[in-house]
Structure 1
């Protein structure tokens, strides 16, 4: 049916998506279980980054170079900014 915004294709697609997601209760349970540990991990990483003076400070604590880069990448993906 034509509407002022178009033919309603996007709305039908969205309604179908919502119906499909509500049919899988495990998704919200899994997301909830993963969200808290990831948020705490990123918060701790941000705090250590600032308390220890950034990349070099984290290396002095014993974190490997690749581990620091992975955490920075995860931080950027989750929050859209660099931890610095």
Structure 2
């Protein structure tokens, strides 16, 4: 999508803001913004799933104790 739109900047309190036209709307309600030279780049914030969270964790290097895990007694019919 190489579409270009002329937009106006405005003030929202102490912040400068821009209204994003509907054809440029991003999914979700959060985004990441970064400066690339004179450009501002706005990217949607991807929702993090469990696998992304697990990949971001540091491995545990500790020694874990043995845990007794006996087989439970069979259930009786009532």
**If the length of structure 1 is used for normalisation, what is the TM-score?**
0.24
- Higher helix residue share: 1
Q: TM-score, normalised by structure 2?
A: 0.25
Instruction: Considering Cα pairs closer than 8 Å and 6+ residues apart, tell me whether 1 or 2 has the greater RCO.
Output: 1
More strand by share: 2
